[in-house]
Chains A and B, each alone.
Chain A
Amino acid sequence: DVVMTQSPLSLPVTLGQPASISCRSSQSLVHSNGNTYLNWYQQRPGQSPRRLIYKVSNRESGVPDRFSGSGSGTDFTLKISRVEAEDVGVYYCMQGTHWPPWTFGQGTKVEIK
């Protein structure tokens, strides 16, 4: 199984400042078809997860452009350029290249300082 490791697990951020979350996989997430199935999800308190980024760097419709994804192979990053109060929650990476199982990172809790 592919193990997804996120860091940090807790991220206190000042409003208006940038934030960055790392996600590393135990093996390359490049599929034989050339795609890399690495997604990022946001779960606000008391809500279902919501996909922010798919295939490493593609932003979902309606997701603010302060969110961006990057990376390749086994190392991936989610960046928030300027954190806003509504960004509080837990962020998960998930791989869908080597399945089953689909696997998630442990989650990174973003909170306001």
Chain B
Amino acid sequence: EVQLMESGGDLVQPGGSLRLSCAASGFTFGIYWMQWVRQPPGKGLEWVSHINGVGTETTYADSVKGRFTISRDNAKNTVYLQMNSLRAEDTAVYYCARDNSGIDYWGQGILVTVSS
């Protein structure tokens, strides 16, 4: 069974940093692209970032480019999202997701709140 488990969400002040982790299990992690998608409270889904299977290709939404960094450790079956210079508008539930002709599996989500 595919499982994706996010961790690391917290309340952080504007300008602060946070690192999200996503532990994957139930599939051969290293052959799949992984994605991060976020959902502000009461709003729709927004794609954030992707990374290929070996970690050599990454892309970002314009809204987070230069502030967020995606990475992965295939030995630990884990994908990360390093978030710096956080803003109030980054407040959202962040989902880790597996890409297989588009996203097929989603984690349960983790809340990040940016507020003073």
Q: Which residues of A contact B (CB under 8 A)?
A: 35, 37, 39, 41, 48-51, 54-55, 60, 90, 92, 94, 96, 99-107
Residue pair A37, B102 in contact (C-beta under 8 Å): yes
Residue pair A48, B108 in contact (C-beta under 8 Å): yes
Residue pair A104, B59 in contact (C-beta under 8 Å): no
Contact A51-B103, Cβ < 8 Å, known A104-B46, A107-B44? yes
A106 CA to B59 CA in the complex, in Å? 22
Contact A102-B102, Cβ < 8 Å, known A48-B95, A48-B109? yes
**Can you list 20 A-B contacts (CB < 8 A)?**
A39-B102, A39-B103, A41-B103, A48-B95, A50-B106, A54-B104, A60-B104, A90-B44, A92-B45, A94-B103, A96-B99, A96-B101, A96-B102, A96-B103, A100-B50, A100-B60, A101-B62, A102-B103, A104-B45, A106-B44
Interface residues on B, range: 20 to 34
A to B contact number (C-beta, < 8 Å): 63
Residue pair A48, B107 in contact (C-beta under 8 Å): yes
Residue of A nearest to B104 (CB): A51
B44: A residues at CB distance < 8 A: 90, 92, 104-107
A55 CA to B95 CA in the complex, in Å? 22
Q: Which of A55, A99, A107 is the one whose CB lies under 8 Å from B45?
A: A107
A105 CA to B47 CA in the complex, in Å? 11
